[in-house]
Structures are given as structure tokens and as C-alpha cells.
Amino acid sequence: MSTQEKTTVRQAVLKKRGDFFTKGDPESASDRIIQRLKQTPAYQSAQTILCFVSFGTEVMTHEFIKQALVEGKRVLVPYIRTKAEGMLASELKDFSELEVGYYNILAPKEDCLRLINEQPDLVIVPSVAFSQDGYRIGYGGGFYDRYLGAQADRSHTIGIAFSVQVVDRVPVEDFDIPVDQLITEEAVYDFRPTKISFRDIDQTNYSDLIDLKLRPDQDDFVSEPIQSLADCWLRRHDKTLFVRAVYHEEELIGYLLYHHDPKNDHLYLWRLMIGDRYQAKGYGRQTMVQIIELAKRLGAKAIKTDYVLGNDTVRHLLESLGFVEVGFVEKYQEVAVELRWD
């Protein structure tokens, strides 16, 4: 992808972030992001963390760094002498050891440098923009990509950003490295290898499935499990209709209902629901990726589905995966979309 494409995205998101900083509540949003970050197993188990020192309109990390030191974490911060040398990591003992350095970012004073070569357990990554699959556009220096790319066994990486910085896609090059997780004030995204699986529904998980609920504002977007189970029973002689429970590891988080007839070239995704307690965790995207893989294993050349007009969350998700609009069902106010592959 061209440098110009990245520049265009970078400029647009920087403007959004700047507007949010002046017209929104960046301090409260930063607090929510940091609270979510500190609740992650990756942070709680980490002994050594590398965290960027925020500047300008970035998510505020100064207090977080101070708190991490008080909690007994070994805290590293970036240190840059020159662009050619790249980003180094220096151990911080006290926040007062920092002064304005490269690019006007707080960095360790020369007499407080403690350069560390060992790999941190956790790297907290800044960016201008993050895509919904974990890739990022920084300020153009490539410092974090080079730092992470040089690691023999990559540290766990968590990007933190305001929700206005999340975009459907960013231009990706061969050397770009996605983060493992992304945290905003609204959601936690997990981009690690999927732990999503599809299982039969039987007496062992039926009750858990029925207990799944939607948020009140989602009632018009998808049927709850009991309705889909009833639909399947009424169509029990249809050998092309399948209903499956969606699991994350060993926890039931949703269900899907789909048609697949080998005579057709596509799989039709009729319904997909992720329970309200499991939303905003990246599970919807991971489930869709697994559905695409399922369709390919079944020999399908496409997936067709639809969503209720106004369900912008699903629209953004499908668009980010490459689905394109192919029609509109007036009777049900549903937008028909499909994804095709060779």
C-alpha cells in the first residue's frame, strides 16, 4: 500500500482525535481504558512492562505508569536517540527521571538511562489509528514495528486508543505487526488466534443457550435462541439447515443458524447472535472469521447474509471483512450482503 494512503488515514484520524480532546472527555475515557487494561490477565501476570509515555492527544498514561511502579511492576519506557538507531527500552524507577526528549516526548534523562535488552512481558502500544483486525498506523517512524520485529519471541502487545481512532481497515505492508489486543473506552478487542468453536446443541448446553440475552436496543436485530430453536424444529426435515452453539474456549457465548446446500455455491448465514455479556470483546469478528473458514471447508464459494437496516455495528463488521451490499429486502428492512472468494 502507498505511503499516501497511510498519510490520508493518519491525517483524518488525528483530526478526529484532536476534536475529541477538545470537545469530548478524554480524561474520563483514558481512565476507563486504563481500568480495562489493568483488568487484563496480560497486565496482571506481567512482571516487566514497556509503556509509551503519552503526549499531545494520546490516551493519558502518566498516572498509569506511576501506579504500575507503586504496584511493583518493572516499568520500561521508550528511549530514542536517533531514528536510525531505533527505539530502545530503559527501566524507569521514578517518573521524575523523565524530561522532554525526541519528538518532544518525555524520555529518560541521560543520567537516568538503564537500557534493557531483555524482552518485556507486555508492551503497551500507542498509535494514530487501529484497524478492526489489530493493525495500526503510527506517526510514520516505524519504531514499534522494528522493536517488536527484532524480538525472538514476541511480547504480548496491547494497543490503547480512543474509540474515534478505530477504523475498518488500514493499509498494511509486509513488515507491519498487529497487536494482540486493543482497548478503547468502549470495548476490548482480541486478535490472538481464535478460541472460537461451533458445537451441537443438546441436553448438556440447551439451558445455557436459552439463558443468552441481547441488549434491549438489539431486540429488533436478531432473534433470541428460543425462536431459532423453534424455527429449526418446524424445519426439522430440512437437511440443509444447521444450528450450532458458539463457544469461546469452554463457555457458550452465542449461536448461529445457517443454510448450506451442496447444490448451491454459497453458505447462507441466517442468524448470528453473541450474548450481551460477551459483546465488545472481539468475539463477533472471530466468529465471522470461523464461519468464513467453515464455508470454505464445505466447498462454498461465497457467504450470503443480511442485517437489519440501522444495525451499524454489524454493518461495520461485515464491511471490514470484505462483504459488499447486493440488495435490499423492503419487507423486512434488511440489507443483503455477500462475500465471495476464488
* CATH for 55: 3.40.50.10420
Whether 113 and 90 have beta carbons less than 8 Å apart is answered as: yes
* Residues 178 and 206 placed together within one structural domain of the fold: no
- Axis crossing angle, helix 283-297 with helix 312-320, rounded to the nearest 10: 50
* Residues 105 and 242 placed together within one structural domain of the fold: no
| Whole-number Å distance between alpha carbons of 297 and 229 | 25
Q: What is the pLDDT along the chain (342 residues), one digit of tens a residue?
A: 467 888 999 999 999 999 999 999 999 999 999 999 999 989 999 999 999 999 999 999 999 999 999 999 999 999 998 888 889 999 999 999 999 988 889 999 999 999 998 899 999 999 999 998 899 999 888 898 888 888 767 789 999 999 999 998 888 876 778 899 999 999 888 887 778 899 999 999 999 999 998 888 887 888 888 888 888 889 889 999 999 999 998 999 999 999 999 899 999 999 999 998 888 777 888 899 899 989 998 989 999 999 999 888 888 888 888 899 999 989 889 999 999 987
Residue ranges making up the domain that contains 271 = 196-340
Whether 177 and 53 have beta carbons less than 8 Å apart is answered as: no
* End-of-domain residue from the set 190, 206, 235: 190
* Residues 182 and 208 placed together within one structural domain of the fold: no
Q: Which of 230, 239, 235 shows the shortest CA–CA distance to 209?
A: 230
| Whole-number Å distance between alpha carbons of 119 and 122 | 9
* Residues 169 and 184 placed together within one structural domain of the fold: yes
* Residues 28 and 116 placed together within one structural domain of the fold: yes
Q: Looking at residue 1, what is its pLDDT?
A: 46
* Residues 218 and 99 placed together within one structural domain of the fold: no
* Residues 233 and 330 placed together within one structural domain of the fold: yes
| Whole-number Å distance between alpha carbons of 311 and 218 | 8
Q: What is the CATH number of the domain that holds 302?
A: 3.40.630.30
∠ CA 210-215-216, nearest 5°, is: 105
- CB count within 10 Å of CB 189 equals 24
* Residues 236 and 102 placed together within one structural domain of the fold: no
* Residues 161 and 220 placed together within one structural domain of the fold: no
* Residues 91 and 161 placed together within one structural domain of the fold: yes
* Residues 213 and 180 placed together within one structural domain of the fold: no
* Residues 207 and 316 placed together within one structural domain of the fold: yes
Q: How many domains does the chain have?
A: 2
* End-of-domain residue from the set 145, 167, 190: 190
* End-of-domain residue from the set 127, 156, 190: 190
Whether 336 and 306 have beta carbons less than 8 Å apart is answered as: yes
